[in-house]
């Protein structure tokens, strides 16, 4: 069979497929009234994979299909690909609509020219072409970059059209301010602008921050994303989330956390070898020399330092920390190149070669492509961090020659394409700009001196449940001086012949008090222990060993009944419940201990000596039973929030202090809130909630209380953790926990015990008078802060609110047992009454999930 015959057969197959698709259009053809089916505004972008291309276009009405016909340039037969369409309604007074079509061309050949057109049997576009990028990262991409090009006065457009169609670029990056503006005149300005740039964007993949009309890598709904081109990792961000808070802080927080995670991934050793260059682009600059009083003309630029007062979500420190090489901006209708800069300090590589191995990122502002607002002026006295500036209309070219050399040049349209600025950025090594600390402060034990070993006593031993799995146990202890060894010997109970050895690491901890006393915190993980097995262990080094302790691992799976002791506010002084808890722990009454804040009163008092004494006190509890506080947490050890599963219960620990102490800005608060929402989403997946139907949260400060003191939980005030931070009510937890069906919420802080009726927004949601805790329709809150401390008990209000079901200011603590997926049992132990149970109740739920008002 000849090649021509094969091509003819393939073309017949394609034609037949289109004819079959035509049957879906019969109704449209019969009722055809107007002709708004013609494709327009065609543009392409990279897809999820390097050799996927997404073709996007629009039609005035729905043609019933979204098709791209394409072929390799030299081939005769045509392939087809179908995609999706989405109705887009303009927000203007006319509410004009159109249909945005997207079709992905998958698994194209590298370095290959393709010809394509798009549309449907109702109408086809003109024929365009594009070339796919080469395979791998060993090639040299060339990119055109500009911002602030509009429908009117688009000075650079014609030159960019010519260069794009001559194949000069692998990608086009438009850094914001499209069309001036996309939504003007009920979207007509935007439509016309998209038609203007079709002769660029239909030939070269385009990237922008405009959500509705452009396809981005990953989730197209995001205004921030990243992708790789050759040796470059590009990151696109939205600066508008700092200035337009119509949707609250969520987009800002979400972008910041995404950005930090993306940078962590990009700077992993194996990734930075492939893409050593990291280039970020966003619209509004951190620095500028313009005379228009924009934010970048001020020292406290929002994008640079973050929100005022809190200095939260600033980007300069983040980019500096992760070694971002270049930051590209627009917004100012000029071109400006800065010297390498950080915090208004020029950090050139050297006087002779400032851009060779610079010690900070290089900033470029390229916002002069041309728009109806014309040029911007510069100030008279240009700052010393500005290396070059120009008002000419134009755009920037970037070429990445290899992993060490980038070349930039600025094209002037005023001067008929002349290059008015160019420079090389050369880096022999790509890494964080932050320099390592003095080695004497590095806190791993291998850096610690062995010269002074006078006070190597072992204490403060505890064993939280392990970092990765429930049959991993982390043993933690401290020594006054360095030992260069962190060792645990352990064996199964009564097996005298098989001592096993595990080694770990040590970290120097320096107290914040005036004497700066230090100690070394040791951590060793015992991995893959047998389930439901008792182990004996000792810890230390050849310089000294602890006493012998024992622990018992939990059963495997989720078909068992965990038992816990839960309390808060136990101190070094007046620790009334300590002795009883010590006895309970040594009698193997608990599978875990939860201490809900206010340790020792206080851990840092007297240069940390109170904290050390308290840790010695609780060793006789925490060395036997996993103690879910201080030192090791499941997940990353330095988080104050985390979650873990025990049997049928999903526990979530969070910090309420991030609502009250904003020393570190809003960053901790927002990171925690994002963690909580993501964790609750994961816990509510059907497959997860089937295994752990019970969701129990615990944090220190309560949402409600019946205290007689002036706390924010004791009235109808807008408790920070309940409603969120004023005045915007940001990051409130009551609605979040209600939304995701949290069953029980434990708190402390108040030095008493209170059990609440099921409650939401000050309303009681008992199931019935007879069985208030059976299938309740709101979370149940418990305050258990009476373990005993130097501040003693606290009185209750004389008039108790209706949501208070039971209260006592006896010293004591709470016990919890999860019998199964439907029954929880809780009881309050009174130390004042020699261990008597002063309150007990069952929570029974046959269905777990979000509550519905």
On the question of pLDDT at 36 being above 50, the answer is: yes
Going by pLDDT thresholds of 50, 70 and 90, the confidence category of residue 590 is very high
Q: Last residue of a domain, which of 556, 591, 625?
A: 556
Going by pLDDT thresholds of 50, 70 and 90, the confidence category of residue 35 is low
DSSP tally for the chain: helices H, then strands E: 15, 53
Longest alpha-carbon distance in the chain: 99
Crossing angle (nearest 10°) for helices 250-266 and 667-683: 90
Distance CA 236, CA 174 (A): 10
Are 413 and 522 in the same domain? no
Residue predicted with more confidence, 446 or 461: 461
* Mean pLDDT, residues 93-100: 90
Distance CA 624, CA 612 (A): 18
**Confidence (pLDDT) at 501:** 93
Residues paired with residue 836 on neighbouring β-strands, in sequence order? 830
For 42-58, write each residue's pLDDT tens digit: 999 998 888 999 999 99
Are 379 and 459 in the same domain? no
Going by pLDDT thresholds of 50, 70 and 90, the confidence category of residue 469 is confident
Dihedral of alpha carbons 667, 328, 237, 428, sign: negative
Residue 468, domain member (yes or no): yes
Residue 580, domain member (yes or no): yes
For 494-503, write each residue's pLDDT tens digit: 665 678 999 9
Collect all residues with Cβ–Cβ distance below 8 Å to 687 and sequence separation of at least 6. none
Q: Last residue of a domain, which of 86, 119, 135?
A: 135
Pull the structure tokens for residue 41: 């505004």
DSSP type of residue 707: B
* Mean pLDDT, residues 575-594: 90
Residue 852, domain member (yes or no): no
**Confidence (pLDDT) at 1:** 45
Beta-strand relationship, 171-174 and 123-124: unpaired
Task: List, in sequence order, the alpha helices (H) in 664-812.
Answer: 667-683, 686-691, 720-723, 734-739
Distance CA 433, CA 427 (A): 12
Distance CA 584, CA 817 (A): 14
Pull the structure tokens for residue 367: 């916002």
Distance CA 713, CA 734 (A): 13
* Mean pLDDT, residues 526-547: 89
Q: Is 496 helix (H, G, I), strand (E, B) or coil?
A: coil
**SS3 annotation, 431-485:** CCCCCCCCHHHCCEHHHCCCCCCCCCCCEEEECCECCCCCCCEEEEEEECCCCCC
Distance CA 539, CA 486 (A): 8
**Confidence (pLDDT) at 391:** 96
Are 116 and 163 in the same domain? no
**Confidence (pLDDT) at 215:** 52
On the question of pLDDT at 32 being above 50, the answer is: no
Are 457 and 411 in the same domain? no
Q: What percent of the chain has pLDDT over 90?
A: 59
The count of structural domains within the chain is 4
Dihedral of alpha carbons 225, 229, 233, 234, sign: negative
Are 239 and 291 in the same domain? yes
Collect all residues with Cβ–Cβ distance below 8 Å to 821 and sequence separation of at least 6. 648, 693, 694, 848
Burial 793-831 (b: 16+ CB within 10 A, else e): bbebeeeebebbbebbbbbbbbbbbbeebbbbbbebbbb
Residues paired with residue 512 on neighbouring β-strands, in sequence order? none
On the question of pLDDT at 455 being above 70, the answer is: no
On the question of pLDDT at 409 being above 60, the answer is: yes
Q: What percent of the chain has pLDDT over 70?
A: 86
* Mean pLDDT, residues 526-535: 93
**Confidence (pLDDT) at 181:** 66
**SS3 annotation, 365-434:** EECCCECCCCCCCECCCCCCCEEEEECCCEEEEEEECCCCEEEEEEEECCCCCEEEEEEEEECCCCCCCC
Are 444 and 429 in the same domain? no
Q: Which of 95-109, 147-161, 591-605 has the lowest mean pLDDT?
A: 591-605
Residue with tokens 């290059």: 419
For 805-819, write each residue's pLDDT tens digit: 999 999 999 999 999
On the question of pLDDT at 411 being above 70, the answer is: yes
Are 661 and 781 in the same domain? yes
Distance CA 87, CA 36 (A): 14
Are 491 and 567 in the same domain? no
First to last CA, the chain: 71
Residue 853, domain member (yes or no): no
Q: Last residue of a domain, which of 435, 455, 490?
A: 435
Distance CA 237, CA 222 (A): 9
Are 515 and 592 in the same domain? no
Beta-strand relationship, 79-82 and 40-46: unpaired
Q: Is 124 helix (H, G, I), strand (E, B) or coil?
A: strand
Residue predicted with more confidence, 470 or 495: 470
* Mean pLDDT, residues 298-320: 87
Residue 849, domain member (yes or no): no
Summarize the chain as % helix, strand, coil (round to 5).
Answer: 20, 30, 50
Distance CA 245, CA 243 (A): 6
**Confidence (pLDDT) at 853:** 58
**Confidence (pLDDT) at 499:** 83
Distance CA 736, CA 746 (A): 15
On the question of pLDDT at 198 being above 70, the answer is: yes
**Confidence (pLDDT) at 191:** 86
On the question of pLDDT at 372 being above 80, the answer is: yes
Q: Which structural domain range is residue 206 located in?
A: 142-435
**Confidence (pLDDT) at 814:** 98
Are 338 and 464 in the same domain? no
**Helix (H), strand (E) at residue 150:** strand 149-150
On the question of pLDDT at 304 being above 80, the answer is: yes
CATH (domain of 528): 2.60.40.380
On the question of pLDDT at 20 being above 50, the answer is: no
Collect all residues with Cβ–Cβ distance below 8 Å to 550 and sequence separation of at least 6. 493, 534, 535, 536, 537, 624
Residue 850, domain member (yes or no): no
On the question of pLDDT at 449 being above 50, the answer is: no
Are 252 and 181 in the same domain? yes
Distance CA 744, CA 44 (A): 51
Residue predicted with more confidence, 604 or 407: 407
Distance CA 322, CA 266 (A): 9
Pull the structure tokens for residue 404: 């060490």
Are 621 and 682 in the same domain? yes
CATH (domain of 334): 3.60.21.10
For 765-782, write each residue's pLDDT tens digit: 998 888 999 999 999 999
Mean pLDDT estimate for the chain: 85
Q: Single out the residue of 369, 376, 367, 388 nearest to residue 293, CA to CA.
A: 376
For 658-711, write each residue's pLDDT tens digit: 888 877 667 888 889 999 999 999 999 999 999 999 999 999 999 999 887 766
**Confidence (pLDDT) at 3:** 39
Whether the Cβ atoms of residue 794 and residue 750 lie closer than 8 Å to each other: yes
On the question of pLDDT at 12 being above 50, the answer is: no
Residue 195, domain member (yes or no): yes
Can you give the pTM of this predicted structure? 0.62
Residue 278, domain member (yes or no): yes
């Amino acid at each position: 069979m000849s090649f021509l015959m094969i091509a003819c057969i393939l073309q017949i197959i394609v034609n037949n497929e289109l004819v079959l698709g035509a049957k879906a259009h019969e109704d449209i053809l019969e009722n055809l009234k107007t002709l708004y089916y013609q494709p327009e505004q065609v543009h392409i972008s990279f897809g999820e994979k390097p050799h996927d291309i997404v073709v996007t276009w629009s039609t005035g009405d729905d043609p019933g299909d979204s098709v791209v016909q394409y072929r390799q340039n030299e081939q005769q037969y045509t392939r087809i690909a179908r995609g999706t369409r989405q109705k887009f309604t303009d927000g203007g007074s006319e509410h004009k609509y159109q249909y945005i079509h997207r079709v992905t061309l998958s698994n194209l050949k590298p370095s290959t020219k393709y010809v394509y057109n798009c549309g449907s049997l109702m109408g086809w576009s003109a024929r365009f072409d594009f070339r796919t990028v080469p395979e791998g990262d060993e090639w040299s991409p060339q990119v055109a970059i500009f911002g602030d090009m509009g429908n009117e006065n688009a000075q650079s457009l014609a030159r960019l059209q010519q260069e794009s169609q001559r194949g000069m670029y692998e990608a086009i990056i438009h850094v914001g301010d499209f069309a001036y503006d996309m939504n003007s005149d009920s979207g007509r300005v935007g439509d016309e602008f998209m038609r203007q740039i079709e002769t660029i964007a239909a030939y070269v993949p385009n990237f922008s921050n405009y959500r509705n009309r452009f396809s981005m890598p990953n989730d197209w709904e995001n205004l921030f994303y990243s992708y790789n081109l050759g040796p470059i990792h590009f990151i696109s961000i939205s600066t508008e989330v700092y200035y337009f808070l119509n949707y609250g802080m969520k987009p800002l927080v979400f972008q910041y956390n995404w950005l930090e995670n993306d940078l962590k991934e990009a700077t992993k050793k194996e990734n930075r070898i492939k893409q050593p260059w990291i280039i970020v682009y966003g619209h509004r600059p951190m620095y500028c020399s313009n005379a228009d009083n924009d934010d970048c003309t001020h020292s406290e630029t929002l994008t640079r330092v973050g929100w005022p007062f809190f200095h939260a979500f600033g980007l300069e420190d983040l980019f500096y920390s992760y070694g971002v090489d270049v930051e590209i901006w627009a917004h100012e209708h000029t071109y400006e190149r800065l010297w390498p800069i950080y915090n208004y300090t020029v950090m050139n590589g050297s006087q002779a070669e400032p851009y060779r191995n610079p010690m900070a990122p290089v900033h470029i502002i390229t916002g002069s492509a041309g728009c109806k607002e014309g040029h911007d002026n510069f100030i008279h006295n240009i700052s010393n961090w500005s290396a070059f500036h120009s008002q000419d209309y134009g755009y920037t070219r970037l070429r990445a020659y290899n992993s060490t050399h980038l070349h930039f040049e600025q094209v002037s349209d005023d001067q008929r394409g002349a290059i008015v600025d160019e420079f090389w950025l050369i880096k022999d090594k790509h890494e964080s700009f932050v320099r390592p600390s003095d080695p004497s402060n590095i806190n791993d034990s291998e850096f610690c001196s062995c010269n002074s070993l006078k006070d190597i006593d072992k204490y403060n031993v505890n064993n939280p449940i392990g970092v990765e799995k429930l049959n991993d146990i982390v043993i933690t202890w401290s020594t006054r001086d360095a030992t260069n060894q962190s060792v645990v010997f352990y064996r199964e109970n009564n097996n005298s012949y098989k001592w096993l050895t595990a080694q770990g690491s040590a970290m120097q901890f320096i107290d914040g008090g005036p004497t700066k006393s230090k100690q070394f915190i040791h951590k060793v993980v015992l991995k893959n222990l047998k389930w439901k097995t008792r182990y004996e262990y000792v810890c230390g080094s050849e310089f000294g060993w602890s006493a012998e302790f024992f622990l018992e691992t939990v059963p495997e799976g989720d078909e068992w009944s965990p038992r816990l002791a839960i309390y808060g506010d136990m101190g070094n002084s007046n620790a009334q419940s300590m002795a009883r808890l010590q006895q309970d722990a040594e009698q193997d009454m608990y599978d875990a201990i939860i201490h809900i804040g206010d340790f020792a009163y206080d851990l840092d008092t007297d240069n940390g000596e109170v904290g050390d004494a308290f840790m010695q006190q609780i060793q006789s509890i925490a060395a036997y039973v996993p103690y879910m506080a201080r030192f090791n947490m499941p997940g990353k050890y330095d988080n104050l929030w985390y979650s873990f599963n025990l049997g049928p219960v999903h526990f979530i620990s969070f910090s309420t202090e991030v609502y009250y102490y904003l020393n570190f800005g809003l960053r901790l608060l927002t990171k925690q809130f994002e963690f909580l929402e993501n964790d609750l989403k994961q816990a509510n997946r059907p497959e997860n909630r089937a295994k752990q139907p019970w969701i129990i949260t615990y944090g220190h400060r309560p949402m409600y209380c019946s205290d007689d003191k002036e706390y924010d939980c004791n009235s109808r005030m807008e408790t920070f953790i309940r409603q969120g931070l004023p005045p915007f009510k940001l990051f409130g937890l009551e609605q979040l926990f209600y939304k995701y069906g949290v069953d029980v919420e434990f708190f402390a802080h108040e030095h008493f015990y209170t059990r609440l009726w099921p409650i939401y927004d000050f309303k009681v949601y008992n199931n019935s008078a007879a069985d208030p805790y059976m299938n309740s329709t709101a979370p149940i809150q418990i305050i258990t802060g009476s373990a005993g401390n130097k501040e003693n008990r606290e009185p209750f209000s004389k008039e108790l609110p209706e949501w208070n079901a039971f209260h006592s200011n006896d010293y004591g603590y709470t016990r919890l047992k999860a019998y199964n997926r439907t029954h929880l049992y809780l009881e309050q132990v009174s130390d004042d009454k020699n261990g008597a149970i002063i309150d007990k109740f069952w929570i029974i739920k046959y269905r777990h999930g979000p509550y519905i008002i």
